[in-house]
């Protein structure tokens, strides 16, 4: 039987101290922030991952689970949580850097990110497609600037984030596929032009925490159970887009503020489909102006995207009754530096996601190809990369600008 997160024990997120000893190496740094992610399946829908940044040399371990509505045990945050945290943390990084550059004072800034996704079709029949809708970012704060300057500041900060470059509709993801130890051609997804990396196997078994990794623990913790959100949505549903019949909405809200110690605190709520509420901490590495006491924005984003893809692999295999015994991925993401925080003065950008997929099955190659095809089409976050979803920005009382 596969290991569970409960058996593994330890913090759900922690800095890794022995990535090099485990043979884990970062990708070449193309644009300023490149992150490699190793993910493996555990029991049920649970997964764990290690990210390693070429820019900072820092490695982080992340744990993921699903709630009861997806047959999980809710022992860790769901994949979309990590992506939402990475996005809003990156937007906040750019906001604070740009405000300093423009001489705009911000008091107690609170940034809210709402993410909307939807799905349509049948998962068991392999016809489901997931899509992303435009995220909405709003800002509440005290300031010496008027609403017009604040609206422009927020829009420019979002545009400067590499996370915005991920969602401009031109980043179709690339894949390799290794089935039962042998590389096979991919079908109905875009192929990587390089050979697969070595199968990651089980190096994550030996991951140990870095010295001082417990300084700010817990780096993520559950602050309200799924049942509370189910009841809250039932009695007081939040405003959300109305979709055509046959499309099913998924709605998350993440609120980011800066604590007195300089670390960003993000509280993530999920309304459609309701799930537990989680609190996260994020901080950039020393090379990017932080202290590295919590994961940086790019590492959160990379872990979440890989986790979501893995969830779709496992769900499709379960619902279609396919003999998927174990599955792993190695994923590379190449982000630009932030236009403000990295002082490039440019819009943020990201290369297409590159994923090496390793499937152990009791089926033929056609089944493995189908698993990959459906997982890519149903992954909300690969949809975020391929769908044109321009981020919207606004101030709480209505002033808007285009990001």
pTM above 0.75, yes or no: yes
Give whichever of 236-240, 255-259, 343-347, 389-393 has the largest mean pLDDT: 255-259
Contact 60, 14 (CB under 8 A): yes
**124-149 confidence digits (pLDDT tens):** 788 889 999 999 999 999 999 999 99
Q: How far is CA 134 from CA 68, 253, 378, 393, in A?
A: 27, 13, 17, 10
pLDDT of residue 378: 93
φ, ψ of residue 181 to 5 degrees: the values are 85, 0
Contact 147, 138 (CB under 8 A): no
**186-232 confidence digits (pLDDT tens):** 999 999 999 999 887 766 788 999 998 888 999 999 999 999 999 99
DSSP state of 242: P
pLDDT of residue 108: 96
pLDDT of residue 9: 79
pLDDT of residue 199: 85
Which pLDDT band, with edges at 50, 70 and 90, does 389 fall under?
confident
pLDDT of residue 1: 52
More confidently predicted of 397 and 356: 356
Q: Which residue has the tokens 């990959």?
A: 372
pLDDT of residue 169: 62
Q: Would you call 2 helix, strand, or coil by DSSP?
A: coil
Token pair of 39, please? Answer: 């993910």
Closest CA to 324 of 315, 337, 332, 334: 315
Q: How far is CA 289 from the centre of its chain?
A: 22
pLDDT of residue 90: 98
Q: Is the pLDDT of residue 114 over 70?
A: yes
pLDDT of residue 203: 67
pLDDT of residue 218: 96
Token pair of 285, please? Answer: 């590495």
Token pair of 21, please? Answer: 């000893």
Closest CA to 134 of 377, 312, 349, 388: 388
Q: State what percent of residues in the chain have pLDDT above 90.
A: 79
pLDDT of residue 143: 94
Which pLDDT band, with edges at 50, 70 and 90, does 93 fall under?
very high
For the chain, the average pLDDT equals 92
Across 379-389, average pLDDT: 86
Query: Using CA atoms, how far apart are residues 397 and 211, in angstroms rounded to an integer?
Result: 46
Which pLDDT band, with edges at 50, 70 and 90, does 301 fall under?
very high
Q: Would you call 325 helix, strand, or coil by DSSP?
A: strand
- Cβ-based neighbour number of residue 74 at 10 Å: 18
Q: How far is CA 177 from CA 191, 284, 331, in A?
A: 9, 33, 12
Residue 218 preceded by cis peptide, ω within 30: yes
**6-60 confidence digits (pLDDT tens):** 888 789 999 999 999 999 999 999 999 999 999 999 998 999 999 999 999 999 9
More confidently predicted of 298 and 5: 298
**258-300 confidence digits (pLDDT tens):** 999 999 999 999 998 899 999 999 999 999 999 999 999 999 9
């Amino acid at each position: 039987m596969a290991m569970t997160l409960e058996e593994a024990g330890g913090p759900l997120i922690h800095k890794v101290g022995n990535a090099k000893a485990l043979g884990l190496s970062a990708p070449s740094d193309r644009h300023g922030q490149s992150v490699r992610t190793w993910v493996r399946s555990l029991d049920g829908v649970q997964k764990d991952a290690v990210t390693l940044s070429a820019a900072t040399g820092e490695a982080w371990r992340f744990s993921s689970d699903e709630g009861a509505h997806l047959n999980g045990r809710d022992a860790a945050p769901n994949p979309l949580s990590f992506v939402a945290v990475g996005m809003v943390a990156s937007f906040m990084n750019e906001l604070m850097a740009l405000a300093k550059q423009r001489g705009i004072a911000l008091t107690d800034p609170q940034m809210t990110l709402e993410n909307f996704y939807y799905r349509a079709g049948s998962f068991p029949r392999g016809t489901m497609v997931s899509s992303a809708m435009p995220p909405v970012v709003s800002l509440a704060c005290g300031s010496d600037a008027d609403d017009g300057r604040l609206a422009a500041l927020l829009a420019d900060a979002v545009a400067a984030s590499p996370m915005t470059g991920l969602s401009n509709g031109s980043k179709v993801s690339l894949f390799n596929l290794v089935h039962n130890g042998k590389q096979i051609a991919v079908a109905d997804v875009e192929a990587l032009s390089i050979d697969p990396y070595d199968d990651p196997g089980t190096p994550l078994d030996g991951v140990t925490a870095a010295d001082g990794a417990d300084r700010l623990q817990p780096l993520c913790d559950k602050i309200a159970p799924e049942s509370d959100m189910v009841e809250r949505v039932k009695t007081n549903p939040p405003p959300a887009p109305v979709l055509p019949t046959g499309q099913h909405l998924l709605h998350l809200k993440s609120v980011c503020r800066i604590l007195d110690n300089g670390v960003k605190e993000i509280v993530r709520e999920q309304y459609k489909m309701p799930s537990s509420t989680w609190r996260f901490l994020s901080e950039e590495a020393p090379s990017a102006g932080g202290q590295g006491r919590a994961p940086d924005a790019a590492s959160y984003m990379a872990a979440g995207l890989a986790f979501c893809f893995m969830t779709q692999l496992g769900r499709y295999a379960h619902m279609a009754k396919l003999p998927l015994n174990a599955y792993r991925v190695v994923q590379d993401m190449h982000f630009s530096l932030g236009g403000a925080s990295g002082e490039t003065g440019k819009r943020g950008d990201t290369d297409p996601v590159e994923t090496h997929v390793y499937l152990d099955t009791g089926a033929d190659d056609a089944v493995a190809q189908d698993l990959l095809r459906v997982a890519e089409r149903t992954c909300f976050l690969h949809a975020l990369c391929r769908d044109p979803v321009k981020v919207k920005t606004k101030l709480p009382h209505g002033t808007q600008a285009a990001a």
